[in-house]
Amino acid sequence: MSDASINASTVNAQTRADEASFGDYFALLKPRVMSLVVFTALVGLLAAPVPVHPFVGFCAILFIAIGGGASGALNMWWDADIDKVMKRTKGRPIPSGKVEEGEALALGLALSGMSVMMLALATNIFAGAFLAFTIFFYVVIYTMWLKRSTPQNIVIGGAAGAFPPVIGWVAATGSMSIEPWLMFALTFMWTPPHFWALALFMRSDYDDAGVPMLTVTHGRKATRRHILVYTVLLAMLAIGTAFSGIGGPVYLVVAVVLNALFLRGAWKISRRTEEDAEADNFKVERSFFKLSLLYLFLHFGAILVEALLKNYGLGGW
């Protein structure tokens, strides 16, 4: 074989290696975030007082998930410049060179339009409109505006991640009530301490990228105080929800235990100095962040259990 043939084969092999795979395009949809969207939307759908045909319910959750994935793709398209700088995100499909920015934009727009239209057709126009607003809020209000302009980015922007259970409820009922907004508030109030805990041990990422996270603009000491305040408010909301239409004894037990642990973690974080954190590589902050991942899942899991028990006349007070 000639040198030219060998060189051509090498170039072709390299080209194939650099081509985006299905996994790269799927990664654009932020599957971890999508899993939270799917689960909370499912809980909202099943906790609603109106029975939903299994096929309609499946379609509703599918299109809500696609809408959430579309938001993720558009977020990665807009944030490609800072994703290249941050250690946590530099391996994503666009900064790694696997997917072109234009491809991410096209995919996000196409999936957004399809998911909104199909959800409206499968359930009701109200649910489709709510999904459209959620995508707009996450992409335009949070990603394009708040994220790079204010340390309140996570606080206000957290609403985008809190809408899925409301959409699930609306898909089932076509109407509103206090219960889906309690689920919204639970996610909304959970978001700041969850992300601020992450920012405490990832501050250099946000510094390098120029993102005005609270740790960057006000420092870690102020962030620790904010985590404690928000955790106290969250605990009050979470435990109070036990006495609503979506609560019950099972939820109350879960809420009391989890919030006691969460408050304990937030208090420990608030009492630590930077020297303490540096000495153990932010052990307490990392532990709190890991607990926060379980926190929301178990609260919504308890709401789901209560809903299923009520179907057999066993749940509630």
269, pLDDT greater than 50: yes
Q: Could you tell me the two tokens for 49?
A: 């007082």
Residue type at 181? W
Q: Which residues contact 212 (CB under 8 A, 6 or more apart)?
A: 148, 149, 150, 151, 153, 206
Check whether 14 has a pLDDT greater than 50.
Answer: no
Average pLDDT over residues 53-75: 96
* pLDDT above 70 coverage of the chain, percent: 94
The mean pLDDT of 178-206, rounded to a whole number, is 92
pLDDT of residue 317 exceeding 70, the answer is yes
Question: Would you say residue 3 has pLDDT above 70?
Answer: no
Confidence of residue 109 (pLDDT cuts 50, 70, 90): very high
* Contact call for residues 64 and 38 (beta carbons, < 8 A): yes
Identity of the amino acid at 280 = D
- Of the CA atoms within 13 Å of residue 19, those in its CB half-sphere come to 8
What gap in Å lies between CA 108 and CA 70, rounded to an integer? Answer: 4
Residues 197-209 have pLDDT tens digits of 999 998 777 777 7
What is the DSSP annotation of 220-254?
HHHHHHHHHHHHHHHHHHHHHGGGSTT--HHHHHH
Structure tokens at 317: 């007070």
CA 10 to chain centre: 41
pLDDT tens-digit map of 131-170: 999 999 999 999 999 999 998 888 888 898 999 999 999 9
pLDDT at residue 221 is higher than 70: yes
Cβ burial of 245 (10 Å; 0-12, 13-18, 19+) is middle
Q: Mean pLDDT of all residues in the chain?
A: 91
Instruction: Take residue 4 and report the two structure tokens written for it.
Output: 């030219």
Regarding pTM above 0.85, the answer is yes
pLDDT computed for residue 8 by the predictor: 43
Whether 12 has a pLDDT exceeding 60, the answer reads no
The average pLDDT across 215-237 equals 95
Q: What pLDDT, on the 0 to 100 scale, is given for residue 65?
A: 97
